Each structure stands twice: as structure tokens, then as C-alpha cells.
Structure 1
Amino acid sequence: MSTAASRDPGLQPERTTLSWTRSAAGLLLNAVLNLRSGYVHDSVPLLVLSGALVVAAAAVFSFGRVRRRQLSAHGPEALADPLAMRAVTVAALLAAATGLASILLGHWH
């Protein structure tokens, strides 16, 4: 039996879609919590970073939908879009920066 025949190509698109959705949900939750923190502490930089993180979460969700369509149309062999991978990297870095700003803000107040 070959390796390609032993793989189950039906679950890979579903796992990928769920991964994109979880990533977007995590980013959105981080953004909402930091928006609240920025509002409570009246911190404009934190509000701006959190707003950008909301946009990044929407972009990750959108790229996830595109990826789901690619996998549905072409199967597991569909190549991932390099732009999507860069967007997720930027979103993760933005989430880290927003979290760090929130932590530092807590120490200053």
C-alpha cells in the first residue's frame, strides 16, 4: 500500500479550517480584552494596537475561508498562499505587541 493511498485526505481540509478559525478567535479575544484594558486605562496606543488586532483577526478569518475553498476545490495538495502565511505571522506579532503593551500599562498605573 502506498503512502498516498494510506492517507485520509478528507480530514485535512477540516483540520486546516478549524485551525484558521481557532487562530482568528484567539486573536479576536486578545483584541477585545486589550480594547477593554485600553479603554479603562485611557491608553490611546493600546487602543490603536487593539484596533489593528481586530483587523488582523478579521484577515485571518478571511484567509481561512479562502483556504477552505482552495482545499475543497483542489484537495490536500493545494499549496498555501504565502501572503496568508505572512498575514498570520504579522497578526501573531501584533498580538504579542498588544499583550506586552497591556502588561506594561498595568505596571505603570
Structure 2
Amino acid sequence: MCEDEEGDEDGADEDDELPAAEMKKMKKRNVTLTLERIDGSLGIAVAGNQVTAVHKNGAGEAAGLEIGDLITEVNGKDTHLDTFGSLLPKDKTKPIKLRVVRLDAL
């Protein structure tokens, strides 16, 4: 499940690694996704709070996550206060509501 929300387009975040000229050609978009583990697995790799890999046929792919997505909330809790992993529910059968910032080319 994926819901798009128009995002803030002004300026780059300090975590962005694209050159300024490239950033001007990108649009930030907030996306809300529901991630449901498959056989206990999230099906993604994360560095900090950024998705670095989405495994084929995994839970992340089914939810619509993309490489480069920046996870900003897990079940309504801000990832700037705690890490992604620490915010995951202990019960692996519960769905995980994620809010991510995605950069799209214009």
C-alpha cells in the first residue's frame, strides 16, 4: 500500500549526496507505505535510515520501497530521534507503517 503526498521542494537536506545542479532537477515527495514482513524478513537493507537495497520478491518490494528512500517515521515515531531498527515492533506479524521521503526526477 502506498500513498503519495506532495512534499517540500525547497533546498537540499544535509544528507543528500547529489550535486546541487542535480538536486534542482529533483522533486521531494513524502510517501506512506505499509510493510508486512515475509517469513519474518523486511526484504530491505538500510544504512542509517536510508534504504540501500530492496530484495526481489521481498516485503520491501511488495510495499513499494525504493533504493534511496529516506525513512522518516516508523509507526508514527520519528527516525531522527531513534534509529529505524530500534523502532520496529517486536511482534514480527504486525504491519509496519513507514513514512519516507523520495526524490523523483522532474
Relative to the length of structure 2, the TM-score reads 0.25
Structure number having the greater strand percentage: 2
TM-score norm. by structure 1 comes to 0.24
Structure ranking higher on relative contact order (CA contacts 8 Å, 6+ apart)? 1
Bigger Cα Rg: 1
The structure whose residues are more often helix, as a share, is 1
